[in-house]
Structure 1
Amino acid sequence: MTITQLHYVLAVAEHKNFTLAAEKCFVTQPTLSMQIQKLEEELDVQIFDRGKKPIQLTDVGLKIVTQAKNIVNESGRIKDIVDQQKGFIGGDFRVGIIPTVMPTLLPMFMANFINRYPKVNLIIEERPTEELIKMIKNGQLDAAIAATPLDEETIKEIVLYYEPFVAYVPENNAAYQKKEFDVEDLEANLNNILLLQDGHCFRNNVLNICRAASLPSGNHFQIESGSFETMVRLVDEGLGMTLLPYLHTLDMNEKSKAKLRQFKEPKPSREVSLIYSKKELKLHIIEALRSTISGVVRGAIAFQNVAISSPLNRAK
């Protein structure tokens, strides 16, 4: 039994296709198939049911894959230990970022990080929080950037910054006349709030600020969008108000900024953190990423008196 064989098994289990798995492993399909067959012969079991389309794991195959993930992940940590001992900061580092953070944060720190740590190859994926947690637990990501706290026992969280929410209000809304918002103003406008679609933790953040499990259906339309830009355009048309993360408002033009309303202190905010498995050993790269992001964001967000809103769905 070899680590390479286990890599091949995990690739087939993930892609449910021998040809695609071989492409991802950068080997020929016959080579991959032969190695998996050798492993099955050695163990005297069938790991995959090849008679089904797509290919499925057998009952024993499911258990083998679970153990194979642990073995492959732990074997990879040997190089991490050596790198840390030598003080080497480099190699592949897989990072996931939630969609409501990636467009604003990534351009702020990426060039800086590349210049400071040219030997690190950042592999970045945009995923919702639930997928990031799963991928970290499965060893598919080294770290992620997400709204916290997440209450996950196996995951460590390092706070990067606190980002206030800002109301974006159309001129035809009575709340437009206010210079500052408080939570009661938001709750009084529940019928007019436009939110991102289900699955976005930012939606949960806002609902938790309003102390509401869902929004009332007072509008004459329903919309599901994952884009802040869509929400902003709808507000510009006078179809409701919305909440935006503070960093998203920095590049707005002056006409749009006139529709922004800050909240009174303590400002409702979200906590954005670097998260990773408690078993993670690439701590030297994690620290490099943390220090770079914190240094860049510190100049953009100077708020201290904040009230953190949970990204978790309270209705569950």
Structure 2
Amino acid sequence: MAKSICLFRMVVTALFVTFLWGSVAPVIKLGYQELDIQANQIGMQLLFAGHITLLASCILFLFIRLKKQSIRINRNTVSSILKVSIFQVFLNYFFFFIGVSLSSGSVGSIMAGTTSLFQLIFAHFFLKNERLSWTKNIGLLIGLFGIMMLNMTTAFRLSIGWGDILLLASVFAGAWGNLLASKMMADVDTKVMTAYAMLLSSIGFFVIGYGMVGSYSFVFTFHAVLLLFYLGGMSATALLLWNDLMRCYPVGRVSLFLFLIPVFGVIISSVLLNEPIKSNTFLALAFVIIGIIVVNRKKTDRKKGSRRWVLFIFTK
């Protein structure tokens, strides 16, 4: 009975977290629509990102203080936290928020779901104990083929726009940022590091965004405020719940739920944004899902797995 309850708790929590992550791209586009932010208004998009990251950092700092943990950081870790902030949050969000405005919510969700695949590639070249096996190579090839299918036209030609390029840049930045963050987990608490990374990134977004716009021209409606609090709260909540999953359950079993992120993203985009699901989207989604499952098929050591997946949230 106890095992059944634990399994039920794991499944429900994992489904909820992956649902939250899958909703990021479509809810961002919904926020753009509510605030009338156009695809060419990059400054406004960055200001929107600044509000979300600032709110997420405040929630994380509040949670840390409620747990009676210290928010102080060692001077020796400041430069490392700054690097994590630049890649894992700032550049990741910078490219993602702009890329989503030029693409569909479905494409943004599927692309964001491939972060774990590119993270494995970086780990192979920069971490001695994270070499790619033949199984992972096959999974990566399947996932990459899915990305190609996502940009395939009916005439079987690749059609890559600026939105796709920016979303790929976001994936690369997020994957590299996750790798940098994994090296710091022994020295800095994950929540503290993430809270500071969010705070520093929000400052960057406000400075650049305000510099481009020249004035604060947001008029927040009730629905826009709800969307803003959802995105900020989602970022903090999903991280805390995912950390709990990694601490309580086998990492290999939990990581398999990651394939649901692009699935939820496509479904939510269809419901909220009325986006038609094209045949190549179905094929791309299928290949990306298979790729994620294959690379995570083999159970890994809890400690190593935690280092690899605990910060996956910042892929969007």
User: Where on the TM-score scale, by shorter chain, does this alignment land: which range?
Assistant: under 0.3
Greater relative contact order (CA < 8 Å, ≥ 6 in sequence): 2
Greater C-alpha radius of gyration: 1
TM-score, normalised relative to structure 1? 0.26
More helix by share: 2
